Amino acid sequence: MSSGKLLSTDRLKIGYEKKEVLSNLNLNIGSGDVICLMGPNGSGKSTLLKTFVGLLKPIEGEVKILGKNLNDLEPKDLSKLVSVVLTERGNISGLTVEDIVRLGRFPHTNMWGKLEEKDRRIIKECIELLNLENLKSELATELSDGQLQKVFIARALAQDAPLIVLDEPTTFLDISNKMELMAILDRISKARNKALLFSSHDWELALEMCPKVWLIDSSGSIVAGTPEEFLYTGVIQKMFMHERFYLDNNNGRFCELKDRNKHLKFKCDNAVVAKWVDHALSKIGYKIEKESDLSIVFFENKFRIEGGAEFKSLSDLLDYLKLR
């Protein structure tokens, strides 16, 4: 639950060298908020995030963090309020994992950059939070893209700012690591009352993990709400409408409109199996009907055509059906 206004914008217009990307933005982020920023490619997600962290100046309007105008803050003061993970990596040659995470503490050190006991404890905690203990002495250039992404997120956490901004943080991660990372970030937000703002193209991840979403629409404005209400009001369907795809309101997934001009009858007592068999059949043009000359039974983890062949796996059955 959010408490207190951390970041706010007033009639904000953003872009590059007078080229407007988004305008008339009146947004608020509260302490403890977890917000996913979504929109089509080129809609302005990265531009907005870069404006919030001071890398781009607003064309018009203002951004305030804890009541202070972003333009009035010195870089070191701003870095104590906002930490950022962008898609650009910078020069990491010769740096170990621990070296990069240490960089997050520099806004809090003295003029010589000396690390105190508190700094070392925070660095250790952040490395452990992202499950990087076994890699802390490894050169960053030797890591996979997914591992390196977690290192930069650990650095942002070590910065200990009240607002963490992340541009596509799950891009290089597999499914399990995406869920793990989002669970870690959510836990940190709740335990330490930090706000998280991150961009993503992953609608299903936002639906599963995010209580708030900012959607950039075709008019260049931002609609704020929950992913669930965007589903039942039809907002998300309209935004990503496509002649070949639709959004299934029952599960929130985008699905392809398939030509299912072949039919079969399928007998199965397991509703979960029946659901996913139907899903697999749709990919090869089959639809399950109550009556059909072709009848398939699922029994004892095998598929059997009534009066015909038996198949040990769904893959084998599909291969057979594709030849009919």
**Domain extent at residue 271:** 262-322
3-state helix, strand, coil in the chain (%, to 5): 35, 25, 35
- Do both 228 and 318 map to the same domain? no
- Do both 128 and 269 map to the same domain? no
Q: Nearest Cα to 283, choosing from 247, 317, 310?
A: 317
**pLDDT at residue 174, rounded to an integer:** 84
**pLDDT at residue 111, rounded to an integer:** 66
> Residue 98 has which token pair?
């621990």
148 located within any domain:
yes
25 located within any domain:
yes
- Do both 210 and 270 map to the same domain? no
Structural domains of the chain, count: 2
- Do both 266 and 237 map to the same domain? no
317 located within any domain:
yes
**pLDDT at residue 191, rounded to an integer:** 82
The CATH number that applies at residue 235 is 3.40.50.300
**pLDDT at residue 302, rounded to an integer:** 94
How, if at all, do strands 212-216 and 222-225 pair? antiparallel
Residues of the chain where predicted confidence (pLDDT) is lower than 70:
1-4, 111-112, 241-243
- Do both 185 and 309 map to the same domain? no
- Do both 103 and 157 map to the same domain? yes
Q: Which residues, 6 or more positions from 196, have their beta carbon under 8 angstroms from its beta carbon?
A: 33, 34, 35, 163, 164, 166, 185, 186, 189
Q: Which residues, 6 or more positions from 216, have their beta carbon under 8 angstroms from its beta carbon?
A: 22, 37, 38, 39, 40, 43, 44, 45, 222
Which domain-ending residue is among 184, 211, 241?
A: 241
Which domain-ending residue is among 241, 276, 304?
A: 241
**pLDDT at residue 14, rounded to an integer:** 94
Q: Nearest Cα to 210, choosing from 236, 186, 194, 178?
A: 186
Alpha-carbon distance of 319 to 252, in angstroms, equals 29
- Do both 76 and 170 map to the same domain? yes
> Residue 288 has which token pair?
């399950």
- Do both 54 and 154 map to the same domain? yes
253 located within any domain:
no
**pLDDT at residue 243, rounded to an integer:** 67
